Amino acid sequence: MTAVMIQNKVFFRLLCLGLLTFTAHLSATDTFDSVMQRMNSNVPVRISYRETRSLELMDHPWYASGYMFSKPPNIIIREQLEPERLLMGVSSESMLYFDAVRNIRHKVDLPEDDPLSLNVSVFKALAHADKVLLMRLYEVDFSSKKDGWEMQLNPKEEDDPAFTIMVSGPPNKPANRVVVQQEDGDVSSFLLTKYTDGYEVSTKANDLYLELIGE
């Protein structure tokens, strides 16, 4: 297992949650059940994102921006454009990484008994509105107020590092913010905007996936 892939383990889980929650269309009263019922997306989706990482060992935050893609049934991709171009992705079989600047690729297989496959399980749970599976993997705390809704997820896997994922959005709107808080104090925050779908998005997602696998 390469260090760069391990470091991005949480990101893939975050990407699954961020993409699929962003595609949800919420009811007049935001509830956990209504969010789950509307998370099933059968079309490719692209989202603009801005990431901020605040690390204990860094004096200043680190910033990145680009696009996230979800291509049903089981492919998710991040195309980072700034500060430099990177591609990361996950399918039902593997995690992928491509440094376009240095022409470096990494691939990690995901057997079903590998703890990393939890990321894929979460994706499937959300994509198919499987509340039972999601609650088996996470402690879920959903709340809704006048100024918006939020969903806090804490992993149940003992092998996972301690962290909390918080997904939130305005009332009756998709998610616009996803935050991962690590036990050591490190924080990664994603602001999500500009939801788009359609043929162009599907074609771009296909092209990025082929680039990821080196074809």
Q: What is the block-wise mean pLDDT of the chain (215 residues), using blocks of 10 residues?
A: 47 54 54 69 81 85 90 80 90 81 84 51 56 79 86 74 78 79 84 81 90 87
Domain ranges of the chain: 3-213
Residue 122 pLDDT? 54
Secondary structure of residue 118 in the 3-state scheme: helix
Secondary structure of residue 83 in the 3-state scheme: coil
Distances (CA, A) of 147 to 23, 35, 168, 172: 20, 16, 10, 10
Q: 87 and 100 in contact (C-beta within 8 Å)?
A: yes
Q: 203 and 89 in contact (C-beta within 8 Å)?
A: no
Residue 4 pLDDT? 45
Residue 26 pLDDT? 46
CATH fold of the domain at 3-213: outer membrane lipoprotein receptor (LolB), chain A (2.50.20)
**161: DSSP letter:** P
Residue 78 pLDDT? 87
Longest dimension (CA), the chain: 49
Q: 167 and 147 in contact (C-beta within 8 Å)?
A: no
Look up the pTM and report it. 0.76
Q: 39 and 127 in contact (C-beta within 8 Å)?
A: yes
What are the respective helix, strand and coil percentages of the chain, to the nearest 5?
A: 30, 40, 35
